[in-house]
Chain A
Amino acid sequence: MKRLLTIGLAGLLVAGLGIGALAAELTIGISKIVAHPALDAVEQAVMDTLAEAGYTDVEYILGDAQGDFNVCVTIAQNFQAQGADLVVAIATPTAIAAAQVYDGSDIPVIFAAVTDPVSAGLIPSATDPSGYGNITGVSDLISIAAHLQLLKDLDPSIEKVGLVYNPGEENSAILTGMAEDAAPGLGMELIVASADSTANVPLAAQSLIGRVDAYYVTTDNTVVSAIDSVLAASQDAGVPFLMADPTSLASATMTAGFDYYVHGQAVGDVVLQVLGGTAPNEIPAVYQQDAEIQLNVDAASAIGLAFPVALIEQAAAIYYGGVTFEKK
């Protein structure tokens, strides 16, 4: 009886292996550093874009490092062992790990949601298409100067801008550095408050009350997870809060940035180019440009703020009465 059980289990395992081995036409590995609405949206958009282009017989191997940086390499090695024909790596640590594992290989590695691919060693320069062989991708670098200018457009008297960020996040550290460089040129002063974990975000946000004329948060994964506490602090302070992630419109006074699903579609387009025969090192890295402005009228009226007409005309969406109205 026991022997039958063992044979049965072994048989199931072999069957499982067999099912795994049934080759789909195309095997694509998609990895991300953590499950997060923005990164999930990129992952979904890539799969949707490929499906819409006619690639229906694709086996996707999805990898989620769950915040563990040391698993990133193992995930990439797993893609390699399963014979992935192409890898999409979402976020900086996952992208570097994939590039490391596929160093010198012909398998294309497409990075997504990487703020600074040049300093990450993924591409030699932002404009030079002849990259490191098999790597190219899409960067989510946001235009900090344009965002700070938006605050000026909202209210020219804004001078001190409070920035809550996690100094332990690479993307966030880069953007904060850019903000510190850009602020003086616009006649603004940046006052930063750091929070090394989601639990410390409310405290950091509250520490800025009374010291700033506006709040600003970039695409910082840690702070975004606790975004409502930043909004609450800004409302207590009676000042506007600009957020660089459109999906957080209900939790900010104003957002400027791009939709990560659209970002994912751009990644999908690059993947299609590569699948169509273009070598990765002939495709210059894409720096996402289409940023939109969205306004939260509820939050604004709560602090007695009225949006200038110019901003309302520019806005792609308005949040009013708890509902988002998109401009067609």
Chain B
Amino acid sequence: MATLLVHAVEQGLAFGIAALAVFLTYRVLKFPDLTVDGSFVTGAAIASLLLVRTGIDPFSVLLIAFAAGCVAGVITGLLNTRLGITNLLAGVLTMIMLYSINLRIMGRPNLSLLRVDTATRLIDQVWSPLGSVSVLIFIALLTFGIKFLLDLFLRTEVGFALRATGDSETMITAQGVDTKRMKVLGLALSNGLVALSGALVAQYSGFADIGMGIGMIVTGLAAVIIGGTLIRSSRVGWMTLSVLVGSLIYRIAVTLALRYGHVVGFQASDLKLITAILVVLALVLPRIREQRQRKVSACSG
């Protein structure tokens, strides 16, 4: 069970990077960005291609994937700000474009990384004194590093301008901020992070597949909303932490559903149903506890 939890946390944090990205567009910029289903795979595709074809080390590959994701974000941003296409549609259009582009990058729908030195494999070898938690520590360091960088960024002048663009576009334009540039910047940063997440997950899973981005926006939103429901705060540091917590809860729900679903009579095909039920429980139980505490304090006068 402990190893399963370690794996759940590993994946929760790896996908958590993409969740932070969705937080940036959906919550901060108030721009629902569907590009992520495509840019996640773009990161995975570029990372896999470079690892299989060239000798570039798996860590630099993460940075290159980030850059590629930024480009994807810029495309969506330009479609929206320069061509006036609505935010949702702009994201969808870029996502559709990326499907074909990603196939071209990989050259095939599925690229195997089994016989290549991925980041996780190297960490496993080099940090072997740490044993079975070496990969977990690496991913945790990476994810929290990104979280703190994001927190720092959102407190800079540019970061504040970005937040203001999402909150009240008219007000911040009156202050002289180019909101179009802010949107493009926000989308670039966000999709860069999504692509980085994709590159990391591909190396963790051992393959990049054209279909691995499907539903990424849903997973990201689930993490953002679950986290936001459990940790209510308007402070940046707590908000980004809540997103990571949300991502962890989702992954743990999937792991528990897989491990114990059959105990309550569910079949293998009910995985998605059980995952959703567990997430509902995770959201509802704290609220029940809150209500009970309120009743108790009311009674005791």
Contacts and interface: CB of A to CB of B under 8 A. Distances in A.
Contacts of B1: 81
Contact of A74 (B3, B7, B212, B215): B7
B95 to A, nearest CB: 12
A122 B114 contact: yes
A80 interface: yes
Closest 3 CB pairs between A and B? A100-B206, A121-B114, A170-B110
Nearest to A73: B205
B68 to A, nearest CB: 19
Contact of B209 (A61, A66, A103, A170): A170
A119 interface: yes
Contacts of B212: 69-70
Contacts of A196: 99
B207 A96 contact: yes
Interface in A153-210: 167-170, 172-174, 196
Contacts of B121: 103
Contacts of A67: 211, 214
A252 interface: no
A85 interface: no
Contacts of B262: 61
Interface in B15-52: 15
Given A64-B269, A81-B4, A93-B110, A74 B255 contact: yes
B172 to A, nearest CB: 37
Contacts of B114: 96, 99-100, 103, 120-122, 132
B269 A168 contact: no
Nearest to A62: B268
B214 to A, nearest CB: 8
B93 interface: no
Contact of B109 (A62, A70, A81, A170): A170
B155 interface: no
B210 to A, nearest CB: 5
Contacts of B103: 167-168
B209 A16 contact: no
Nearest to B8: A74
B271 interface: yes
Contacts of B268: 62-64
Contact of A81 (B108, B209, B259, B263): B259
Interface string A206-234: 00000000000000000000000000000
Contacts of A17: 260, 263
B201 interface: yes
Contacts of A64: 268-269, 271
B161 to A, nearest CB: 35
10 contacts: A20-B263, A61-B262, A66-B269, A75-B258, A78-B259, A93-B209, A97-B205, A119-B112, A120-B112, A170-B209
A61 B103 CA distance: 34
Most buried by B among A64, A69, A168: A69
A75 B259 CA distance: 9
A51 interface: no
A168 B3 contact: no
Nearest to A64: B268
Interface in B108-139: 108-110, 112-115, 121
A71 to B, nearest CB: 7
A173 B209 contact: no
Nearest to A101: B206
A19 B207 contact: no
Nearest to B208: A69
Given A67-B214, A74-B7, 11 more contacts: A64-B268, A66-B269, A69-B205, A69-B209, A73-B205, A78-B258, A97-B206, A103-B114, A122-B114, A168-B103, A170-B108
B51 to A, nearest CB: 12
Given A64-B268, A100-B206, A168 B211 contact: yes
B205 A70 contact: yes
A72 interface: yes
A145 B96 CA distance: 34
B272 interface: yes
B72 interface: no
A168 B205 contact: no
A261 to B, nearest CB: 19
Contact of A77 (B7, B112, B115, B209): B7
B215 A68 contact: yes
A265 interface: no
Most buried by B among A72, A80, A99, A100: A100
A323 B255 CA distance: 45
A75 B207 CA distance: 15
Contact of A168 (B15, B206, B210, B259): B210
Interface string A245-273: 00000000000000000000000000000
